[in-house]
Amino acid sequence: MPGTFGSYQNEIYLQGLAGTVPPFTTDPDALEASARERLGPGPFWYVAGAAGTGATARANREAFDDWRIVPRMLTDATTRHLGTTVLGTTMPAPVLLAPVGVQSILHPDGELATARAAAELGVPMILSTASSHTLEDVAEANGDAPRWFQLYWPNDPEVCLSILDRAKKAGFTALVVTLDTWTLAWRPHDLDSAYLPFLRAVGTAIPFSDPAFRAGLEKSPEDDLPMAILRWVHLFTGTDKSWDQLAFLREHWDGPILLKGIQHVDDARKAVDAGVQGIVVSNHGGRQVDGAVASLEVLPEIADAVGEQVDVLFDSGVRTGADVVKAVALGAKAVLVGRPFAYGLAHGGQVGVRHVLRSLLADFDLTLGLSGHRSPAELNRDALRARR
Ligand SMILES: Cc1cc2nc3c(=O)[nH]c(=O)nc-3n(C[C@H](O)[C@H](O)[C@H](O)COP(=O)(O)O)c2cc1C
């Protein structure tokens, strides 16, 4: 339905006449602080924290300020069509839910709540390998909605194949292979409280329910939890693999494959040569390399280099409708949003994720229209000006 996301604004104001206000803030800048009040320090910092000094996470946000939208008038943008199709997946706006692991640290329903909220809006979710619910249960909660699967590429090929097979059977259509987290970065916020959810058996639902993983254990996870955890921690983020090994995934996954974590033009070209269909320009929300380039900073050069050959998606730092406008104008087919929906989840599960998503999509819809555009397809660099 054209332009309907923006009507969330009318709904909020009308409900205000009956004395009802939104369940929590619509202000992206206030969302993090509000989530902090609801979470213990371990879970809060696991989400909010970043690698090292947090310089990359800060750069991600600052990079959006380096571009400014130049609004155009009298363009007849009253009726808008936000929808798009990326790698065969139709979506109501160029926005997907980023893979975020261990969601049960934020709400007991975790990924199930996210899957339900995503399905209500038709927004595709990307399920993390580090899910706290099995991929079959998440698929069921997600119903007929579009969904992709994010792979942390396990070192054991049998386990990898088994997980891919389950994902296919559960209706996940595209595979997002995360390359930037083959080991965890130095994250002082988590280190200071010695908080790592996986060691507490959170985010292990997929392997622990996997026949190939279980077959490799002497005792089941139910009988010997510490050994199962240790084996998975050893396996699951993989080691730094090589470009030629991508052939293995191409051979065993018949849908589109995207590589997540690309920040260099040469790596984007290698992705094209490796025969994948998409890339996600991402620095994991600044959670991996401290002192790195902002993801938005490298988006234009990467989109220029490979945007004709593969679908270029973007994440790291997207918080507002204007951010979506800017990323799409700089060459992204769609963006992934991470921490904001995680904070929404912390505010009441499905309802919280829904509110955050509706707010972001309403903001995007209105900003798109007010800047003079009827669809994301009309956005290009003419819509922006670099800050001097
Ligand atoms: C708590 C948390 C957990 C995450 N878990 C994963 C994961 O399991 N797999 C993955 O590919 N990326 C993961 N990411 C990274 C996101 O997919 C995404 O790249 C990042 O959050 C985007 O930045 P943003 O949070 O600034 O939007 C995680 C991010 C956060 C905040």
d(C-alpha 70, C-alpha 23), whole Å? 33
Ligand 1 atom nearest 48 alpha carbon:
31
Q: What is the pLDDT of residues 30-49, one digit of tens each?
A: 999 999 999 999 999 999 99
Please tell me the predicted confidence (pLDDT) of residue 1: 40
Give CB contacts under 8 A, 24+ apart, made by 254-259.
Answer: 254/168, 255/88, 255/168, 255/173, 255/174, 255/175, 256/87, 256/88, 256/173, 256/174, 256/175, 257/174, 257/175, 257/177, 258/87, 258/148, 258/174, 258/175, 258/176, 258/177, 258/311, 258/313, 259/177, 259/179
Query: Dihedral (C-alpha) 119, 314, 363, 2: value to the nearest 10 degrees?
Result: -60
- pTM higher than 0.75 for the full model? yes
| Mean pLDDT, residues 57-82 taken together | 98
**133 in catalytic set:** no
The residue nearest atom 29 of ligand 1, judged by CA position, is 100
Nearest-CA residue for ligand 1 atom 27 is 338
* Pocket lined around ligand 1, Cβ cut-off 6 Å: 46-47, 60, 98-101, 128, 130, 150, 178, 260, 282, 284-285, 315-318, 336-339, 342
- With CA atoms as reference, report the closest residue to 144 among 117, 171, 169: 171
The rounded mean pLDDT for the chain is 97
User: Dihedral, CA atoms, 254, 174, 233, 48, nearest 10 degrees?
Assistant: 170
CA end-to-end span of the chain, whole Å?
38
| Active-site annotation holder among 284, 347, 355, 373 | 284
pLDDT of 2 over the 60 cut: no
| Ligand 1 closest atom vs CA 319 | 27
Burial (CB count within 10 angstroms: exposed 0-12, middle 13-18, buried 19+), residue 247:
exposed
For 294-333, the pLDDT digits (tens) are 999 999 999 999 999 999 999 999 999 999 999 999 999 9
pLDDT digits (tens, 9 = 90+) for 177-187: 999 999 999 99
Nearest CA to ligand 1 atom 10: 99
3-class secondary structure for the chain?
CCCCHHHHHHHHHHHHHCCCCCCCCCCHHHHHHHHHHHCCHHHHHHHHCCCCCCHHHHHHHHHHHCEEECCCCCCCCCCCCCCEEECCEEECCCEEECCCCCHHHCCCCHHHHHHHHHHHHCCCEEECCCCCCCHHHHHHHHCCCCEEEEECCCCCHHHHHHHHHHHHHCCCCCEEEECCCCCCCCCHHHHHCCCCHHHHCCCCHHHHCCHHHHHCCCCCCCCCHHHHHHHHHHHHCCCCCCHHHHHHHHHHCCCCEEEEEECCHHHHHHHHHCCCCEEEECCHHHCCCCCCCCHHHHHHHHHHHHCCCCEEEECCCCCCHHHHHHHHHCCCCEEEECHHHHHHHHCCCHHHHHHHHHHHHHHHHHHHHHCCCCCHHHCCHHHEEECC
Share of the chain above pLDDT 70, in %: 99
Q: What is the pLDDT of residues 198-235, one digit of tens each?
A: 999 999 999 999 999 999 999 999 999 999 999 999 89
Best residue among 180, 287, 356 to mutate for probing ligand 1, ranked by most atoms within 8 Å of CB:
287
Residue nearest to atom 5 of ligand 1 (CA): 100
For residues 11-23, average pLDDT? 97
**What share of the chain in percent tops pLDDT 90?**
97
